[in-house]
Amino acid sequence: MQGKISISDALYPHLLSQIPDPPENLFFKGKLSKEIFSNCLAIVGSRKMTSYGSRVVESLVSSLAGSAITVVSGFMYGVDASAHRAALKYGVSTIAVLPCGVDKIYPQMHRELYCEIQKSNALISEFEMGFYPTKWSFAKRNRVIAGICKAVLVIEAGVQSGALITAYWANKFKRQVYAIPGDIFSEQSVGTNQLIISGAKAVVTVSELSSLFGIKLQQNKSKYKTFSSGEVDRVYKLIQSGRVSVDELSRSALINAKSLVSIITELELSGAIKSSGGYLYAN
């Protein structure tokens, strides 16, 4: 389904109509309802997400499952797309705010995501159908994201990330800005750490969002698993203590390469750990 809602319609998001220059019309594709706009949380961040960012998104959004919160993001690659994907995966409502007409798929590589979202969620835009994305429309789009949300959560942001523009608008519209604290040496956490210094609330678990939305949220606890074999257990404990490369692990666990890799597969298949970019993480 596609169509247009104007500022006078009942469906028009109430919060958005309060900002200084709300868009006259919102074009949409997918399914819109009053509820989907009532508890919006923007999850935005860098296009060049690191594995840290992807873990944070996955863990936070999975904890939102079953709540009435809608994840709003900008459909860009990186944090945006993975927020949408995680929302779809855990049955959380999601809205994609596009910097172009809603009939345009931008970026093209997200065609599949586009189709998924329009099945039971919505893509919206203040731009007319057929409008191509331009430099300024991204910044303007961020204004809408901040406008319809109660809070903006920045997962990862570099020095010049567009997510910081969203945070700027959120601040202006008196929305709560949250940021995920990150590694002080990581390029993709410079922006978020800076946000925290200048007053954004740091989020470590999803429960920090509870009071704002008036919903009790609880972080999915990572369950400590035990394994039958002592060796497997030892490897698991080492991975739990922080990011580690397979090579480092082989050295610190004093296990030869070939046995270690089959232990890693066993842990992966049991869902206890995850590997990304040559490094291992505990779930």
Partner 1 sequence: MLTKLESISYIGIDCVAVDVEVNVSNYGLPSFDIVGLPNKEINESRQRVKTALQNCGIQFPNKKITVNLAPADLPKQGSFYDLSIAAGIISEVYKLAIPQSAVFFGELSLDGTLRHTRGSFPLALYAKENNYKFIFLPAACSLEVKNVPNVNFIFLNSLHDFISFLKYQKKISINYAHSSAKRSSTIDMSSIAGQSIAKRCLEVSAAGGHSLLMYGPPGAGKTLLASAYATILPTLTESQMVEVAKIYSLYGDQNSEIFSGQAPFRNPHHTVSFSGMLGGGNLPHPGEITFAHHGVLFLDEICEFSSNVLNCLRQPLESGFIQIARNQRMVKFPSKFILFAATNPCPCGYYGHPTKKCVCTLSQIQRYVKRLSGPILDRIDLFLNVTSIEFSELVHNNFKAETSLQIQKRVEVARAVQQKRLLAYKLNCNSEITPDLLKKLCPLTQITSNILEKAYTKYSLSTRGITRIIKIARTIADLELSANIEQSHIAEALQYRNNPTIVG
Select from 37-45, 148-156, 215-223, 260-268 the region that touches partner 1 (CB under 8 A).
260-268
How many residues belong to the site for partner 1 (CB under 8 A)? 37
Q: Is the dihedral of CA 19, 24, 29, 34 positive or negative?
A: positive
93-97 and 122-125 beta bridge pairing: parallel
Say how far apart CA 86 and CA 94 lie, in whole Å.
Answer: 10
Among 50, 121, 137, 193, indicate the residue that binds partner 1 (CB under 8 A): 50
Among 103, 116, 187, 233, indicate the residue that binds partner 1 (CB under 8 A): 187
Strands (E), 47-169: 70-73, 93-97, 122-125, 151-154
Select from 12-20, 36-44, 230-238, 249-257 the region that touches partner 1 (CB under 8 A).
249-257
* Residue 228 in contact with partner 1, rule: CB under 8 A: no
What residues contact 150, with CB distance under 8 A and at least 6 apart? Answer: 15, 39, 40, 41, 175, 176, 212, 213
Select from 58-66, 90-98, 185-193, 209-217 the region that touches partner 1 (CB under 8 A).
185-193
Among 38, 51, 219, 220, indicate the residue that binds partner 1 (CB under 8 A): 51
* Residue 78 in contact with partner 1, rule: CB under 8 A: yes
CB of 146 to partner 1, least distance (A): 23
Interface positions, 102-141, toward partner 1 (CB under 8 A)? 109
Select from 23-31, 96-104, 204-212, 257-265 the region that touches partner 1 (CB under 8 A).
257-265
Nearest to 126 by CA among 227, 265, 17, 53: 17
Print burial letters for 131-166: b (CB count within 10 Å at least 16), e (below 16). Answer: bebeeebbebbbbbbbbbbbbbbbbbbbeebbbbbb
CB of 270 to partner 1, least distance (A): 9
- Tokens 């969620």, located at residue: 121
Among 18, 33, 222, 262, indicate the residue that binds partner 1 (CB under 8 A): 262
* Residue 184 in contact with partner 1, rule: CB under 8 A: no
Nearer Cβ to partner 1 (199/278) = 278
Nearer Cβ to partner 1 (165/264) = 264
Residue 37 CA from chain centroid, whole number: 17
* Residue 251 in contact with partner 1, rule: CB under 8 A: yes
Reduce the DSSP state of residue 3 to 3 states and report it.
Answer: strand
Among 119, 135, 185, 241, indicate the residue that binds partner 1 (CB under 8 A): 185
Q: Are 270 and 245 in contact (CB under 8 A)?
A: no
Distance of CA 190 to CAs 54, 80, 133, 202, 224, Å? 17, 18, 27, 14, 32
* Residue 247 in contact with partner 1, rule: CB under 8 A: yes
Among 125, 137, 250, 283, indicate the residue that binds partner 1 (CB under 8 A): 250
Say how far apart CA 210 and CA 10 lie, in whole Å.
Answer: 27
Binding-site ranges for partner 1 (CB under 8 A): 47-48, 50-51, 77-78, 109, 185-187, 243, 245-248, 250-251, 254, 256-266, 268-269, 271, 275-279
